[in-house]
Amino acid sequence: MKKKIESTIRNMISDLQRMQREDGHWSFCFENVVMTDAYMIILLRTLAGDEDELVGQLVDRLWNRQSREGTWKLFEDEKEGNLSSTIEAYFALRFSGMVNEEDKRLLKAKRFIEKKGGFHKAHTMTKFMLAVHGQYEWKHLLPIPIEFLLLPKTFPLNFWDLSSYARGHLAPMILLKDQKFKIQTSSIPHIQDLSRAVKEERYSEREWRLFSKISEGIQALAGLPSQLHQQARQFALEYMLQRMERDGTYLSYFSATFYMIYAMLALGYKKNDPIIVKALQGLKDMACETKKGIHIQNSPSAVWDTALISHALQEAGVDANEDVIQKSVDYLLKKQHFKYGDWAMETGVKPGGWGFSESNSIHPDVDDTTAALRALTYSAAGNPLIRQSWDRGIDWVFGMQNRDGGWPAFEMNKTKSILTSFPMDGAEAAAIDPSTPDLTGRALEFLGSRAGLTAEHPDVKKGVEWLKLMQKEEGSWYGRWGVCYIYGTWAAITGMKAVGVSSSDIHLQKAKTWLESIQRKDGGWGESCYSDQEKTFVSLPFSTPSQTAWALESLICIEDKPTPAIDLGIMALLELTNGADNETSQAYPTGIGLPGNFYIHYHSYQWIWPLITLSRYKEKFG
């Protein structure tokens, strides 16, 4: 097995060195749900008349993703299919002008949509897309006045209390609802027959409490109603324009940019306005190649992938002075943020973080920042200029720690739980930005393994104490940004171990026992995307490379010598990495964007996590 481990590590290093781009970054596909492919077809048919080649490629992609039952799924083991994804694909294929509405494949999809209750049962984002194309009534969406945007930060509930992700999407969407905008174009297919009669919306007591507080605040605003209304519209427009990146996209998200374009059309901007033309080009540049055709990424992952790969190569023994590492370090240094973004309103720390995508310059996050800092650590030790960047980054990470001791994704202390009742699907996960075990564990792992801090440090101690409180009864931790309990448990274990928590600690021992209990008979680990919906571990019928690597690294971290579970897992990981028939396991999404709605197959993960884990095994056990 030793020789197999060594040869696998060598081959992975060679593969990654070969795939590096000239400027030092790695470009792997961030493959997400079909929403972006469908919405791009819709957008191209709305804005442009000469995009048949790209539309045709995306049509082929959608057909390639359709299940035998005629549906589209969020993940392989999703039962039957996903209603929102199927509606989006169905509408896009009809809108493309390249598919006969009597096509048997389309009719299968239509029957599924009817069976599942039609448009009213779809996700809020899907309903908004349908509404701007005249297929769904605006009166059933978002009963929040646009004046909500004007509530001052001193008011108990205001726009700025929402997470940055939620604000980014709410600004264009609330503007569209306010305008009740419907795009006018003759090519829009009419599919209102799939929108069943909708009863008046019933809201929960928590939702009514939220509405009441917002209404109370709006009534207290000074100014004539007409003036306030216009001010709110102007605020929404300026909010979007101020957060456009140099590539024309809005916050580097496809989904947010899509709605921004329609919001600008609603305000009277022409389709050929330079802002809209540039935004569309920015979205087209988000395309990547997959085995099933061209795919539009929601947020290309160049910075994330480059940071993780550079770190993985160094863990595997590639020296920081080698060209492949120096080039990646140079690239990452250029991507460090120097602008003050929205995050700065909650903390006095100076800019110094990193974002997820190459074009991202104002929307940094904790996970990308600690990933970049890991990659820079060895180079910073011998270079004062790199050390300055590294110091700025670590200051930013500490400046983002929440009051409870954990770490959020984008902004600190966005934790008002009443906002999870915001009347949009997914608000429970996206409306606020609380501490999560995975982000906290990853931050601690960096602070321990690279910054040399221990649980004696007061801020580190707070993080460890918070993590221990968050452990589930059976021994796992929830992972918000990866699938799911394996991911969260790996982050928590490696984080606590890095800052000096003993392997004999009861929390780590419970976690170890839990990981061993869910090991599959083939030696690997596999967890379904259903876990984040069920809020409990749901097993996959197969193992995946990244989840197997996460579980193994956790056990390697705790144990002093190889155990049967570790050795069996290593053999499984080698097979998952080297085997010829692993497409299903390698393609299964193990990243999460929005729980229950948005899952990610990171094409880079089949290299990154196995390489790190095999290297850790080799280093510790020989």
Residues designated catalytic:
367
Alpha-carbon dihedral sign for residues 205, 207, 208, 214: positive
Compute and round to an integer the Cα radius of gyration of the chain: 24
Instruction: Work out the burial of residue 152: count CB atoms within 10 Å of its CB; fewer than 13 is exposed, 13-18 middle, 19 or more buried.
Output: exposed
Structure tokens, 614: 């095999």
Q: Is 400 left (phi over 0), alpha (psi -120 to 50) or beta?
A: alpha
Task: Please count the other Cβ atoms lying within 10 Å of the Cβ belonging to residue 288.
Answer: 16
How many Å apart are CA 611 and CA 16, to the nearest integer?
A: 10
Structure tokens, 105: 């494949």
Q: 302-315 and 366-381 are packed helices; what angle lies between their axes, rounded to 10 degrees?
A: 40
**Residue entry with tokens 């997470």:** 163
Strand blocks (E) in 113-174: none
Structure tokens, 262: 């329609």
How many Å apart are CA 606 and CA 547, to the nearest integer?
A: 10
How many Å apart are CA 206 and CA 419, to the nearest integer?
A: 9
Q: Please list the alpha-helical segments (H only) found in 400-526.
A: 427-430, 437-449, 458-470, 485-498, 506-517
Q: Please list the alpha-helical segments (H only) found in 20-96.
A: 35-47, 52-65, 83-96
